[in-house]
Amino acid sequence: MTDSELNKNYLKTLIVLYVEDDIDVREQLSQYLRRRVGVLLIAKNGSEGLEIYRKEQPDMIITDILMPVMDGLEMAAEIRKTDFNTPIIVTTAFESSSYFMRSIDIGVDKYVTKPIDTASLDNAMQKCANRLKINEQLRLAYKVFDNSMEAILITDANNNIYWTNPAFTNITGYSNEEVIGKNPRLLSSSKQDATFYEAVWTELSTKGYWKGEIWNKRKNGEIYPEWLSINLLLDARGKVTHHVGIFSDISDHKAAEDKIKYLATHDPLTGLPNRNLLSDRMKVALAHADRKQEQVALMMLDLDNFKRVNDTYGHKIGDMLLIEVAKLLVGMFRASDTICRLGGDEFVIVLNDIADMTYTCRAAGNILKTITPELAIEDHAMGISPSIGIARYPKDGMDLDTLLKNADIAMYSAKHNGGNTFHFFSEDTN
């Protein structure tokens, strides 16, 4: 569709005010206009036209100049006192330069002489319609930018801030007035080094755009993650005129992502590593033991009488007991060791860098001394005790599954012998 066709279609959506005192001219041209515009409003003089304008707010005005009561230029002058955007086309039988100059001073958009050549009038209306269409597009674009949930930052060719939208203020805390003329580096968190920014500008200059995750700093000093895209705007000669940055705060997204990762590797009740993280840490522990020619001890711990706690006091107390046991275990071991909850009342402790079993036996003894039947939750003695089974790498197994199975066998041996003790795995036990 050509520009002319687009303008004609747009004209059919507009409200046009036509002001003419000559009844014959008015009736003849009105028929022509009705076929080309959306709604046609008609007035017999400038005073009546001004009244209709104030009431209906038409999109375009076509008016004669010489009319009784108030002429067309007087009406146009009154309109221009408050409205600089509505296109005004004047028609007159007089080709007087004074009328022409006065029309320019008032701010009339087009000047068509009588007798009216409909092609000239149609051309003038199309040009005015095109301007209205462009203005509407600009207003729409501004409204989109103004109401965007994403922050928009525009800088000039020297990368000084030229314009921002309200979302920019909402995210960064800086008002538009505070940042105009400044370099966007005022948002830098210093978490990315010079090499990072060099790579950004290299990609911008070669591709014309860049997008990725970046850490920036709010006005209050808070550092936050954002997803940022930058595009270059070029003139007809290919020279950069502006940079447009669009970004959103992804703090919630990152927090949710971190939570998902955490839940994938940790027990939600106690916060201890789960089977997935145990598997990863065990691989590291075994590889380290091989390099150092040392041992790894894996303890399986089960709480004697835990079912009775749930049955007697309820699952809430049972959960509180598991949380307390987890805290006690964490406090007993080195940072290099791993304490894991497999589920229920089963815990696994992995001891690294073991030259002999002295440390392992001492650690198991400490557990028995700490987790005793007198351990209380909300003033209720729990009456529980631990049964511990221990398997050693490489003696009792070469991988996690085998070590867990053998530690489990040793643990049930301890439980079978009355609980509140620890047993090492042996083939005899098996």
Question: Active-site positions?
Answer: 345
3-state secondary structure the chain: CCHHHHHHHHHCCCEEEEECCCHHHHHHHHHHHHCCCCEEEEECCHHHHHHHHHHHCCCEEEEECCCCCCCHHHHHHHHHCCCCCCCEEEEECCCCHHHHHHHHHHCCCEEEECCCCHHHHHHHHHHHHHHHHHHHHHHHHHHHHHHCCCEEEEEECCCCEEEECHHHHHHHCCCHHHHCCCCHHHHECCCCCHHHHHHHHHHHHHHCEEEEEEEEECCCCCEEEEEEEEEEEECCCCCEEEEEEEEEECHHHHHHHHHHHHHHHECCCCCCECHHHHHHHHHHHHHHHHHHCCEEEEEEEEEECHHHHHHHHCHHHHHHHHHHHHHHHHHHCCCCCEEEEEECCEEEEEEEEECCCHHHHHHHHHHHHHCCCCCEECCEECCCEEEEEEEEECCCCCCHHHHHHHHHHHHHHHHHCCCCEEEECCCCCC
